[in-house]
Amino acid sequence: MAPNIIAYIFYMVRDLIAHYRDPRIINIPFIGNLKYMVSVIVIYLLFVLYFGPKWMEKRRPFELKYVMQLYNAIQVVANTIIFLYAVLFTVLSPDFSMLCQPVDYQNTSPHMMHIIYASCGYYLLKYLDLLDTVFIVLRKKNSQVSFLHVYHHAGMVFGVCVYMNFLCASHCTMLGLINLLVHSVMYAYYFATSLGAVKQVLWWKRHITQVQLLQFSYLSLHFLLVIVRNPCQFPIFMAFVGFTQNIFMFAMFFDFYYKTYMRKPRQQVQQVDAADEAAQKLT
């Protein structure tokens, strides 16, 4: 009985996905395949939570300084280019509404296709982001593999995959646009510290978290506007999911910010930051 119910649910979900999926992205390699996304997330979770730490248990940490410098540089360049490209067809375009942008699978205008191409680039970057955790495991910094870290990285891959398949170039696009900007700044900070510019960029660390809090605050408002007033008929359920998810992320990041920068004495925070940066420089 149970296998029949599971099979029924599986085929029902498969048919629903096939029926409601955005036809504009189906033929784009990798982007429109949900099985790839699920497979990557499962492999990621198994590695960073179990097999990776177990494999590294009796091994020395990998020296990844130059690999991570290259990785951070690639992240800065890629996020910045896609951000600037996307801005041209969203914020700077009269054809895109920041207040309420509908889901319109029939819109295949050149302008809309440029937004879809930018979204594809952003989606692929979410897979590249997973290497953050892989590097942490290989360097045996397992204390940094927190619930917030893993949830955020795996959740972004899942969430952007849903966006690409069902909500591409819609009201959710602003989430990716702002996230690209935040990641450009964040990876620029990581790159600078890896080069040894600790004193020059140490003050970035606290403000990067503040920028992330501003990101979640704006996006909460962005989705709330559609919940309150919805002239473009954007799916209210998805707006509610976007609103609650960003409230949740704000709460988690604020908890981290409060514990790290507000509850500790100021001098102690500076000492901890300096120690962290020195450790990054050495490794």
Task: Kindly list the catalytic residues.
Answer: 152
What is the sign, positive or negative, of the torsion defined by CA atoms of 72, 32, 21, 2?
A: negative
Q: Which helix (H) or strand (E) holds 222?
A: helix 204-228
Q: Is the dihedral of CA 126, 168, 236, 84 positive or negative?
A: positive
Angle between helices 147-166 and 236-257 in degrees, nearest 10: 160
Q: Report the candidate in 175, 165, 172 with the shortest Cα–Cα distance to residue 226.
A: 172
Cα 56 to Cα 63, 69, 111, 128, 135, distances in angstroms = 13, 22, 48, 22, 12
For residue 273, count other CB atoms closer than 10 A to its CB. Answer: 17
Cα separation, 199 vs 206, in Å, equals 14
